[in-house]
Chain A
Amino acid sequence: MSENIKINVNGNQIESTPNKLLIEACEDSGIHIPRFCWHKRLDPVGMCRMCLVEIETPRGKMLVPSCTTEVTDEMVVDTESEVVKKAQEGVLEFLLINHPLDCPICDKAGECPLQDQTMAYGPGESRFVEEKRHFEKPISISEIILLDRERCILCARCTRFSDEISGDPLIEFIQRGNKTEVNTFPNEPFKSYFSGNTVQICPVGALTSTSYRFKARPWDLKSVRSTCNGCPVGCSTELNSSQNKMLRILGVDNDSVNQGWLCDKGRYNFEYLNSEFRLKNPLKKIDNELKETSVKEIYTELSELISDRNTNINFLIGTNSTNEDYVAFNEFAKNFPTTNQTFYLNDDYLYAGFFEQDINRATIDDLNNSEAIVIWAEDLKENLPVLYLRVRQAVKNGVKLIVFGHSNSTLEDIADFYYSEDIVSENFEIIKDISKLKGIKEHVKDKNVTAIIGKSTPYQLDEYLDKLVSYLVENSNSKIMNAFSSGNTFGAINNLDNVKNLRDFTKNVSSENTDLLFIVGSDPIGRSVFSNEIHRIIEDIDNVVCLDLFLHETSELCNYIIPTSSTLGEKEGTFTNIEFRTSRIDKLVPSPGQSLSDWEFISGLSNFCNFINNIDSLDGLNELAYQDFDNQDSPSFKNLDKPSNFDGIINDYQPNVSTMPNETITSQYFVGKKLYGDNITIRYSDSISLLGAKQFIEASESTIEKLNLSSGECTLKQNGHQVSANYVVNNKLADGVIFIPQNRRNFNRFDFSETIEISPNQSKEALNVN
């Protein structure tokens, strides 16, 4: 590392590192320079001219933009001189002459950098008396984003974000000079998975989101810092509510995880919390009908079943609970020493081989610090969107990228080597001769490698992934990250003693070996590829208790339904992400009706049956979860609540996972998940519900030709089950590969190992079947 240099700002010596931008160096020393276009995570453009400062040059004092000037040794800077103040006033007056000043109705007002900086640095009044520039007031540039071009100050933050960071430059400047405006291309909406970030970084109210439009003003918002539990990346978020209603989620700049960005699903999938369809009271099935009841009654009936401690209990655990919830279930299960309790995780992508091999675990930051990245996992952009951004960032910094499989076809454009074969199951023979591949030979062997490994589809065989992992372990200095798509999977694996995956559930569980089944926050019938089998099993079992937010395909079948608090903003706890980083989940709004947290329900039941457990307080559970760790590294509430640990604490867990050995299950189709699905939460989040409702399949042009599809729509048919769908051309898919999203309505009812008849959809009747 190069040595520190000294610069002189306003007569004070400050230290900085070479090649740092002046605005950053000043910021680090607590000297604020006003700015609009400069953003820490974007390349500087020097467009707004707000950050002008005076520096001394051989030709006298000069005004330079501090966001494009790098510090040099002995530099003399003045950020408060009269000339600088005049320039700042001038720029603000220029910015305001065409700004509509509709602050009273603007969603940004109150937290608006333009307002704040006008107060701090601006002229008192405007001398502009002519008519302002006019555009049509908000135009919707996508389902979730609105654009008001009158308010825009043309800082290019949004256009730079979508070009540099997310890589889908769908908004650009058009026209020039005073008529410049931001807009989309004709007939091409701003259809990005990361569009919400542009709303957050917009320094004025030009970009606003439909979900927050006119809902509240910033000064009546309550906020807490929390962690997104939508996917295992675990982005740091700020939750905002007003009048006890969740209204907005913002990304928090957590340097080692999300760097301030969020995906649109993480940002906008919260409206279901306020849905009228939320369960408010416990339900009990009487004569095949769900009737409202009380928690006490359910406790009474369950205690009759379990108080002799000789019941066969199994758990089907979702990935949306907190670590504390999992601890509570684990402790509860210990009350039944004579029977065998198993926790089946509702994650059909869980790759257990990862935990069996002796590997170095990777952190997200390792992506930037390695020489090459190897990816063979589910589609990062669709399932782990922010991790996809971090991979893009690493590639931009010169890290080589080697991608296997067609699931990550979105990375093909930036990948240095892209290996996929014309088979659908992603079980590639090439892995057997992996050392012969050019990309591996040149960039992986004996190099520092970070790998992201996981199942690309539920039907992928572990043995191929094992091959790749063991090659990397043996032949390179590798760090490996296990990619999987659901939320707090690692938290569940860490805190539950006997975890198996969903396929094991279909093989092991039956009414004969299960007296009582708990289903916790999951909808395997509606979402997993084993839908039909699970449906049969659950129907057979006599006593099924479901803890969930909504009535859905799975909960409808259960005997007892307990309304629960959502992990998003309705309860406290901890969350463990893909790199085993544990961070805080916090509570902001009350949960409706008689909702209980998972742990509250189970500790209540435990008390009701007079079991002696130490699970009746959240702090107690938290201590239990981390009792094995040193006090300092332990991600206990006490440690996580220190500001230095807000970004989370990484720990070296040794989870105990065992799954059954792989047998050959194959699929004729490439089955995967899309970001927006037909999940119950998205269905009840109004602003994004339509994004996940579209039924479609994907295939390349030649495949579609072979299927004789022409009208844009088709019907999928198998054993009397029939779904009509659109088809989308995706030429990045290999010939013969048909992609079927499993998280769309009714798609997962198909048996993908058998042929599905795909026929063109012509008759009106066919459309109305489902």
Chain B
Amino acid sequence: MSESFGLFKGLKVTFKELFRKSVTDKYPKEFREKPQRFHGRHVLNRYEDGMEKCIGCELCAGVCPAQCIYVRGEDNPEDEPVSPGERYGFIYEINMLRCIYCALCVEACPTEAITMTSLFEMSVANRSEAIFDKSVLVVNDDGTPNTHEEQTKLTRFEELQTSDGWMRATSSNGNPNFQNVVNWSGSLGVGKKDPEKGQSLEEE
């Protein structure tokens, strides 16, 4: 065995990789498609009638491992209710600098009020802006997401439109026949979502 053969042997991997298509993206010029269950920035959803889904129950704040959510509930004003029921989220703040995007808040939410989107490139000018409050988190009346950031090269607000897929142990549409059947639903925007295909009893 000559020594030069050893050199070629060593470079074999190099040459092989030289002609393979690159795996790196030209970020930020190009963006990679994100997986369906990607955990990005939160939104607070509304019902079709414009009512906020959040009832201020603080379960998200209680379950948050980073303790980045601060919620206070209040009595719903009778003549102009904010959410259905007695209580609504009076203060809702998430400190995005602390958030670890674990989505435990989404799982804990009893009304599907808080869900996650695919947007994760957020930028703020100072720390206090990183605390997102209701004016940012709650979706608009038409169900479109809200933001207080300026459009930059990095932020792609259309990613706020793509919601994460997530699952619940029980049916989201309240049909008791769906007990114990895993049921997927998209979550962003207004209204209750139909279960995804392949999960209803009808098709079994």
Cβ of B72: which chain A residues have Cβ within 8 Å of it? 215-216
Contacts A217-B57, A217-B58 hold; do A105 and B176 have CB atoms under 8 A apart?
Answer: no
| Complex Cα gap A217–B111 (Å) | 17
Asked if B86 is at the interface of the complex by the 8 Å CB criterion, the answer is yes
Which listed residue (B56, B61, B111) contacts A214, Cβ 8 A? B56
Q: Is the CB of A105 within 8 A of B62?
A: no
Asked if A129 is at the interface of the complex by the 8 Å CB criterion, the answer is yes
State which residues 120-171 of A face B: CB under 8 Å. 125, 129, 137-138
Q: Is the CB of B176 within 8 A of A129?
A: yes
Q: Is the CB of A137 within 8 A of B86?
A: yes
Query: Considering only CB atoms, which chain B residue lies closest to A218 in the complex?
Result: B62
Q: Is the CB of A213 within 8 A of B75?
A: yes
| Complex Cα gap A104–B112 (Å) | 12
Contacts A104-B110, A138-B86 hold; do A214 and B62 have CB atoms under 8 A apart?
Answer: no
Cβ of B176: which chain A residues have Cβ within 8 Å of it? 129
Cβ of A138: which chain B residues have Cβ within 8 Å of it? 86
Asked if B55 is at the interface of the complex by the 8 Å CB criterion, the answer is yes
Asked if A220 is at the interface of the complex by the 8 Å CB criterion, the answer is yes
Cβ contacts A642-682/B at 8 Å (1 or 0 each): 00000000000000000000000000000000000000000
Cβ contacts B72-95/A at 8 Å (1 or 0 each): 111100000000011100000000
| Complex Cα gap A103–B110 (Å) | 10
| Complex Cα gap A214–B88 (Å) | 9
Asked if A102 is at the interface of the complex by the 8 Å CB criterion, the answer is yes
Cβ of B51: which chain A residues have Cβ within 8 Å of it? none
Asked if B135 is at the interface of the complex by the 8 Å CB criterion, the answer is no
Contacts A105-B85, A137-B86 hold; do A220 and B179 have CB atoms under 8 A apart?
Answer: no
| Complex Cα gap A214–B111 (Å) | 17
Q: Is the CB of B56 within 8 A of A105?
A: yes
| Complex Cα gap A129–B86 (Å) | 24
Q: Is the CB of A104 within 8 A of B62?
A: no
| Complex Cα gap A709–B87 (Å) | 46
Which listed residue (B57, B61, B179) contacts A105, Cβ 8 A? B57
Q: Is the CB of A214 within 8 A of B73?
A: yes
State which residues 197-236 of A face B: CB under 8 Å. 213-217, 219-220
Q: Is the CB of B61 within 8 A of A220?
A: yes
Chain A: minimal CB distance from B201 (Å): 15
Which listed residue (B55, B58, B85, B110) contacts A220, Cβ 8 A? B58
Query: Considering only CB atoms, which chain B residue lies closest to A138 in the complex?
Result: B86
Q: Is the CB of B75 within 8 A of A104?
A: no
Asked if B68 is at the interface of the complex by the 8 Å CB criterion, the answer is no
Which listed residue (A105, A215, A217) contacts B86, Cβ 8 A? A105
Cβ of B110: which chain A residues have Cβ within 8 Å of it? 103-104
Query: Considering only CB atoms, which chain A residue lies closest to B67 in the complex?
Result: A220
| Complex Cα gap A740–B151 (Å) | 70
Q: Is the CB of A104 within 8 A of B61?
A: no
Chain A: minimal CB distance from B65 (Å): 14
Chain B: minimal CB distance from A550 (Å): 26
| Complex Cα gap A129–B73 (Å) | 30
| Complex Cα gap A661–B59 (Å) | 64
Cβ of A215: which chain B residues have Cβ within 8 Å of it? 72-73
Q: Is the CB of A214 within 8 A of B74?
A: yes
Looking at A103, A105, A213, A219, which has the most chain B CB atoms within 10 Å of its CB?
Answer: A105
Q: Is the CB of B85 within 8 A of A102?
A: yes
Cβ of A125: which chain B residues have Cβ within 8 Å of it? 179
Query: Considering only CB atoms, which chain A residue lies closest to B58 in the complex?
Result: A217
Cβ of A102: which chain B residues have Cβ within 8 Å of it? 85
State which residues 159-204 of B face A: CB under 8 Å. 176, 179
Q: Is the CB of B86 within 8 A of A104?
A: no
Interface of A is mostly: loop
Q: How large is the interface on B (under 10, 10 to 19, 20 to 34, 35 or more residues)?
A: 10 to 19
Q: Is the CB of B62 within 8 A of A220?
A: yes
Cβ of A217: which chain B residues have Cβ within 8 Å of it? 57-58, 62
Cβ of B74: which chain A residues have Cβ within 8 Å of it? 214
Cβ of A137: which chain B residues have Cβ within 8 Å of it? 86
| Complex Cα gap A723–B170 (Å) | 64
| Complex Cα gap A220–B72 (Å) | 11
| Complex Cα gap A129–B174 (Å) | 11
Cβ of A213: which chain B residues have Cβ within 8 Å of it? 75
Chain B: minimal CB distance from A136 (Å): 12
Query: Considering only CB atoms, which chain A residue lies closest to B59 in the complex?
Result: A104
| Complex Cα gap A137–B72 (Å) | 21
Cβ contacts A93-125/B at 8 Å (1 or 0 each): 000000000111100000000000000000001
Q: Is the CB of A104 within 8 A of B57?
A: yes
Looking at A104, A138, A215, which has the most chain B CB atoms within 10 Å of its CB?
Answer: A104
Cβ of B111: which chain A residues have Cβ within 8 Å of it? 104
State which residues 19-64 of B face A: CB under 8 Å. 55-59, 61-62
Query: Considering only CB atoms, which chain B residue lies closest to A126 in the complex?
Result: B176
Query: Considering only CB atoms, which chain A residue lies closest to B71 in the complex?
Result: A217
| Complex Cα gap A214–B75 (Å) | 7
| Complex Cα gap A137–B87 (Å) | 12
Query: Considering only CB atoms, which chain B residue lies closest to A109 in the complex?
Result: B57
Chain A: minimal CB distance from B83 (Å): 10
Query: Considering only CB atoms, which chain B residue lies closest to A242 in the complex?
Result: B72
| Complex Cα gap A215–B72 (Å) | 7
| Complex Cα gap A40–B111 (Å) | 38
Contacts A104-B57, A105-B85, A138-B86 hold; do A219 and B73 have CB atoms under 8 A apart?
Answer: no
| Complex Cα gap A102–B111 (Å) | 11
Q: Is the CB of A219 within 8 A of B62?
A: yes
Cβ of B85: which chain A residues have Cβ within 8 Å of it? 102, 105
Chain A: minimal CB distance from B32 (Å): 37
Query: Considering only CB atoms, which chain B residue lies closest to A105 in the complex?
Result: B87
Cβ of A216: which chain B residues have Cβ within 8 Å of it? 58, 72
| Complex Cα gap A138–B78 (Å) | 13
Cβ of B73: which chain A residues have Cβ within 8 Å of it? 105, 214-215
Cβ contacts A78-93/B at 8 Å (1 or 0 each): 0000000000000000
Chain B: minimal CB distance from A686 (Å): 13
| Complex Cα gap A671–B73 (Å) | 44
Chain A: minimal CB distance from B117 (Å): 23
| Complex Cα gap A220–B56 (Å) | 14
Cβ of B75: which chain A residues have Cβ within 8 Å of it? 213-214
Chain B: minimal CB distance from A342 (Å): 49
Chain B: minimal CB distance from A37 (Å): 26
Chain B: minimal CB distance from A115 (Å): 13
Cβ contacts A404-442/B at 8 Å (1 or 0 each): 000000000000000000000000000000000000000
- Point out residues on B near A: beta carbons under 8 Å: 55-59, 61-62, 72-75, 85-87, 110-111, 176, 179
Please name 6 pairs of A and B residues whose Cβ atoms are closer than 8 Å in the assembled complex, sorted by A: A104-B110, A104-B111, A137-B86, A214-B74, A215-B73, A220-B58
Extra contacts, 19 of them, besides A214-B73, A217-B62 (Cβ < 8 A), are A103-B110, A104-B57, A104-B59, A104-B110, A104-B111, A105-B57, A105-B85, A105-B86, A105-B87, A137-B86, A213-B75, A214-B75, A215-B73, A216-B58, A216-B72, A217-B57, A219-B62, A220-B58, A220-B61
Q: Which 10 A-B pairs have the closest CB atoms?
A: A104-B57, A214-B73, A105-B87, A104-B110, A217-B58, A219-B62, A214-B87, A105-B55, A129-B176, A105-B57
